[in-house]
């Protein structure tokens, strides 16, 4: 029986020493672990960008920017930190609207562009939309914002108190809380 207890004691002692070796050998340096888990952000840079956007073989827009960053993170986006100019074309390949902004961020997966800082959209007819920030949805071809915006055209000066939704060609502009003046015809509809 003494033999059994001494073998058991030796077995537990060996298991304890082996376990301590495993615990000691599995220690990792915190810096090494953090380096392995750190998110990698890849950033591409382009200077004097001129890009053409087409759909079904028809040119839809031409974009110009002095600086562009394409950033690959969990959400892929393209950033225009200095300025952005876009010409929008109609079905006959004529410019119908143009857009200027001092900053833009395009979310590729969503097909949406966030524009901010002196955003202005102008049509050939002279209709003008101004906003401090604006979203442009490429899929629906709509501009929208929940901020203050102004829309001017022939006989129209509309100031939006709480946002707007507008088509890309500004043929339809809907203010959510408008203020301003509009010339109305005898039928009661805007001229």
| CA gap 93, 52 in Å, rounded | 12
Contact by Cβ (8 Å): 79, 104: yes
Mean pLDDT in order along the chain per 10 residues (191 residues): 61 67 60 69 88 84 92 88 91 89 92 92 90 90 89 76 83 79 69 58
User: What's the confidence (pLDDT) of residue 66?
Assistant: 95
User: What's the confidence (pLDDT) of residue 190?
Assistant: 61
Domain that includes residue 110, residue range: 46-182
Entry pTM:
0.70
Quick count: other Cβ atoms within 10 Å of Cβ 119?
Answer: 26
Q: Evaluate whether residue 35 is within a structural domain.
A: no
| CA gap 18, 12 in Å, rounded | 10
| CA gap 1, 6 in Å, rounded | 9
Closest CA to 49 of 30, 62, 33, 40: 62
Q: Evaluate whether residue 81 is within a structural domain.
A: yes
Count of structural domains, the chain: 1
C-alpha radius of gyration, the chain, whole number? 31
Q: Evaluate whether residue 1 is within a structural domain.
A: no
| CA gap 24, 20 in Å, rounded | 6
> Which CATH number belongs to the domain containing residue 63 in this structure?
2.60.450.10
Q: Evaluate whether residue 15 is within a structural domain.
A: no
Buried b (16+ CB within 10 A) or exposed e, 73-87: eeeebbbbeebbbbb
Instruction: Report the alpha-carbon angle 19-33-39, nearest 5.
Output: 150
Q: Evaluate whether residue 166 is within a structural domain.
A: yes
User: What's the confidence (pLDDT) of residue 19?
Assistant: 62
Q: In sequence order, what are the residues at sequence separation of 6 or more whose Cβ sits closer than 8 angstroms to the Cβ of residue 134? A: 101, 114, 115, 116, 119, 121, 143, 144, 145, 149
């Amino acid at each position: 029986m003494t033999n059994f207890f001494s073998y058991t004691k030796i077995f537990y002692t060996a298991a304890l020493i082996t376990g301590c070796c495993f615990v000691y050998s599995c220690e990792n340096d915190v810096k090494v672990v953090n380096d392995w888990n750190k998110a990698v952000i890849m950033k591409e840079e382009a200077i004097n960008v001129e890009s053409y956007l087409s759909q079904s073989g028809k040119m839809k827009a031409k974009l110009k920017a002095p600086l562009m960053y394409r950033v690959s993170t969990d959400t892929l986006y393209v950033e225009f930190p200095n300025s952005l100019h876009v010409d929008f074309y109609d079905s006959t390949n004529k410019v119908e609207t143009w857009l200027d902004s001092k900053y833009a961020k395009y979310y590729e997966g969503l097909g949406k562009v966030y524009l901010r800082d002196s955003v202005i959209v102008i049509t050939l007819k002279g209709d003008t939309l101004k906003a401090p920030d604006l979203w442009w949805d490429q899929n629906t071809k709509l501009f929208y914002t929940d901020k203050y915006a102004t829309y001017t055209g022939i006989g129209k000066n509309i100031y939006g108190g709480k946002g707007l939704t507008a088509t890309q060609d500004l043929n339809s502009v809907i203010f959510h809380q408008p203020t301003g003046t509009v010339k109305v015809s005898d039928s009661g509809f805007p001229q």
